[in-house]
Structure 1
């Protein structure tokens, strides 16, 4: 059994109530800080499958480095399953232990950067939290072939969040009215050009996904009527692999050491 411990931070009161918003800001912050340690376009992904609505609230200071403390927390979580009547959640609990976790060596990610990302993710940055939350949901859905469309739709939500954050970044850095093309230029200069990719700057932000995203969310559009989502199998894979690095750069203002290694290799290839 895997569990996480976070502070009990609720959403701002001015936001509308939603019974389907089942991760709180602190939980998204913790999971997101782990996702941002992934390597850029390669390596394993930090994929989570949280069981919703099962929490044990602890009103005291704890030493989380103590095995005794962790054992007590686990015991409290197991006791929490006795306080629900929802059959779907009980079924989820019954499945614990039936499947093995897909684990990987922590050296496969940039684990030392997790504290940096955790500090940089603000619980007041609601657009960032939505983008990270959408990636968590995308991974949960992508594990089932029949939900690949819905998984990709969640990466599109995360893509929209990243687009808005890039526009805000550009405004903060002197562009009073940035456009999607400005965001595309920023993406090219910040990520693609250092890696040796050449396609020019005058393109919209992730332009290749724009039409498919419109057709996926809208059954009828200027592109015509669409009875299914016109998605490629790798749409989810590509967005899922690059969006964490974009979020990470936007909140820290710097690339990871692994990305710098990739740019060095690109310069070596170009001679």
Structure 2
């Protein structure tokens, strides 16, 4: 059955699988479990919208198989390349110590628009797709995926005013994020999964494991930056020095000593979490804490943002200025 509202249609389930392999206008729906910026945000090939009734994105883009025919098979590639690019661009616009964007997508549910050539910048497109999604939610029969969109009607969405984010950098992030940069996107994907898991208290350990994946992605990216800068065979200590130079030094923090590694304070816990038996002994449970989640989540988001654009956001610069001003005041006092 083809669903209709105004002049916008979703392709039928019979057509969807064939169309999904190529370039298509893809709709992703987000559940009320997340935190979303209020309103509508545009990039050249897509749009994200969130209001108290529903949150969704529309993105025109390819599948992973068409982008990279040699990519391995996976059942967890729920976000297409351009959808992940949009999600990543939005998430990187967070500010230091301000509100999260916590995406909670309905995975494996995405619809495709029947029309191929659509101006996604037109407000009517957002309104029509919203009306279509709400109609589906209200009229869906019971079923695994259908129940997920019905749940979207159970309570208002948690929205954050957009001035809590640095969306003035949204297009810069979008332009700099290539879908072929697998390590960056995998790292931000891991941040999204951690946010989803941390919504459920009982999966806090798994949320931290996802952050360890993001941490490893960031480490790889830092090593690549060091090689680009002429460092031969950079080490974990070199990565720690890079982190200090670009993030901690302006705040007057001491340089890492010769034994310190990249995110050294998490190294032993990470080994013991991922390996029940290791050189640290046999572990009956993970030696980690809930506070690891916000610490890693915020730090890694900022590192990814810096690596993608090669510069800090105004929020970082403002905090450095504030720190120096108050340090001088304390010294003079």
Query: CA separation of 1:201/1:101 partners in 2, compared to 1, >3 Å: closer, same or farther?
Result: farther
User: Is the 1:54–1:80 contact (alpha carbons within 8 Å) kept by the matching residues of 2?
Assistant: no
Whether 1:143 and 2:199 are equivalent positions in the alignment is yes
User: Is the 1:29–1:121 contact (alpha carbons within 8 Å) kept by the matching residues of 2?
Assistant: yes
**Gaps in structure 2 of 5+ consecutive residues:** 1-53, 329-333
**Which residue in the other structure is 1:9 paired with?**
62
Partner Cα distance (1:87, 1:150) in 2:
27
Question: Cα distance, 1:80 vs. partner?
Answer: 7.2
Partner Cα distance (2:318, 2:237) in 1:
28
Whether 1:119 and 2:175 are equivalent positions in the alignment is yes
Question: Cα distance, 1:70 vs. partner?
Answer: 1.6
The counterpart of 1:152, out of the listed 208, 212, 219, is 208
**Which residue in the other structure is 2:280 paired with?**
223
**Gaps in structure 1 of 5+ consecutive residues:** none
- Indicate the structure with greater helix content: 1
RMSD value, Cα: 2.0
The counterpart of 1:61, out of the listed 105, 110, 117, is 117
- Indicate the structure with greater strand content: 2
Query: CA separation of 1:236/1:19 partners in 2, compared to 1, >3 Å: closer, same or farther?
Result: same
Does the residue aligned with 1:103 lie in a helix, a strand or coil? strand
Query: What per-residue deviation string (whole Å, max 9, x for no partner) do you get for residues 33-57 of structure 1?
Result: 11111112x0110101110122232
Partner Cα distance (2:111, 2:130) in 1:
9
Whether 1:214 and 2:214 are equivalent positions in the alignment is no
Q: Report the TM-score when normalising by structure 2.
A: 0.76
Question: Cα distance, 1:85 vs. partner?
Answer: 9.8
- The higher radius of gyration belongs to 2
Query: What per-residue deviation string (whole Å, max 9, x for no partner) do you get for residues 177-236 of structure 1?
Result: 111110000001100111232253532110000111111111111111111111111101
**Which residue in the other structure is 1:52 paired with?**
107
Whether 1:267 and 2:318 are equivalent positions in the alignment is no
Partner Cα distance (1:5, 1:50) in 2:
13
Once the two structures are superposed, the pairs formed by residues 103-252 of structure 1 within 5 Å of their partners are 103-202=159-258, 203-252=260-309
- Segments ≥4 residues shifted beyond 6 Å: 79-82
Query: What per-residue deviation string (whole Å, max 9, x for no partner) do you get for residues 36-94 of structure 1?
Result: 11112x01101011101222323423233333212332355567789x99943222122
User: Is the 2:191–2:297 contact (alpha carbons within 8 Å) kept by the matching residues of 1?
Assistant: yes
Q: Which has the higher contact order (CA 8 A, sep 6+)?
A: 1
Aligned length in residues: 269
User: Is the 1:36–1:244 contact (alpha carbons within 8 Å) kept by the matching residues of 2?
Assistant: yes
Q: Report the TM-score when normalising by structure 1.
A: 0.93
